Amino acid sequence: MPLKRPNDVVTVANEKVSIVTVLTMLGVEVDDIGMGRARKVHCPFGGLYHSDQGLSPAMRVYPDSNSAYCFSCAAYYTPVGLAAKGLDTTWRKAATHLLDRIGYRPMDLAAQFKDALEYEPEPDKALLADALKTYCRRIDPDWARRQFEPRVAGILTRCLSLLDLVTSQDDVHLWLCKCKEVMRRALQPEQVSLSRKYDVLWETLNDNGRRHP
């Protein structure tokens, strides 16, 4: 029997299948993308979910991390996640379909054992994005409305765009801690206490008194 690990088919498909391959499969035209260069493309779901019916290229493709992010959908996609949504199926079925499409054949037992020993899972950036949004919902009961405020939405978008830089568990901890703090400040700006306001007023009056004896 082949060695198993959680979501092994999904993991292999995300590693072996290019995000560009999935976009092309879903009918999206993608120009030649070199490593390290992000590219804007049209989201395959623009006609269904975008306010402009998908006219603008709202999706950005990140070849280095083999992923994509749609700014209109506010959604992060791996190859399997994108295929699962486009084919309206489960992640495991989508992964199997993608591996069959590229003619992938699993490694022999010895190679699988070596790979399992060396395996370090890639951070699940879709789950990280959901974790940050869940945190925002927890600290602000009005999150369903406030997430669309220009300032809050802009800060959230900047946080999510940094997911492309998250490649290790240390990165996960740093990104989540910092982004939680940034979103907390955006949703709960610190209020100046009444005593501090009095202190400022007193300092101002004293300063004016010194200037105008």
| pLDDT means over runs of 10, the chain (213 residues) | 56 93 92 70 92 91 91 93 95 94 78 69 87 94 93 93 88 94 88 59 59 52
In a domain, 195, yes or no: yes
Write down the pLDDT at residue 6. Answer: 43
Residues 109 and 195 in one domain: no
Residue 61: Cβ within 10 Å count = 24
pLDDT value, residue 209:
52
Tell me, yes or no, whether 114 lies in a domain. yes
Same domain, 62 and 152: no
Same structural domain for residues 152 and 114? no
Q: Give the domain-ending residue among 118, 145, 161.
A: 118
Q: For the beta carbon of residue 95, count every other beta carbon within 10 angstroms.
A: 27
- CA 135 → CA 15, 28, 109, 110, 131, distances in Å? 29, 33, 42, 43, 6
Residue of 23, 25, 107, 27 lying closest to 70 (CA atoms): 23
61 with 84, same domain: the answer is yes
Do 93 and 67 lie in a common domain? yes
> Which of 79, 97, 118 is a domain's end point?
118
Whether 98 maps to a domain, the answer reads yes
User: Which of the listed residues 87, 118, 149 is the one where a domain comes to its end?
Assistant: 118
Helix axes 169-187, 150-161, angle to 10 degrees: 170
CB-based contacts of 26, cutoff 8 Å, min separation 6: 44, 82, 83, 86
- Clarify whether residues 96 and 12 are in a common domain: yes
Same domain, residue pair 100 and 167: no
- Helices 79-87 and 8-16, axial angle in degrees (round to 10): 100
- DSSP 3-state assignment of 136? helix
For residues 20 and 14, is the Cβ–Cβ distance under 8 A? no
**Count of domains for the chain:** 2
Task: Look up the CATH number of the domain holding residue 61.
Answer: 3.90.580.10
19 shares its domain with 112 = yes
Residue 71 structural domain: 8-118
Task: Tell me, yes or no, whether 98 and 166 share the same domain.
Answer: no
State residue 131's pLDDT score.
93
Contacts 24+ apart (CB under 8 A), 174-180: 175/128, 176/128, 176/131, 176/132, 179/132, 180/132, 180/135
Q: Is residue 73 part of a domain?
A: yes
Same domain, 131 and 58: no
The pLDDT of residue 49: 86
Cα(23)–Cα(43) distance, integer angstroms: 9
CA separation for the pair 107, 16 (Å, rounded) = 13
Side chain identity at residue 204, one-letter code: T
Residue 57 lies in a domain: yes
- Please report whether residue 2 resides in a domain: no
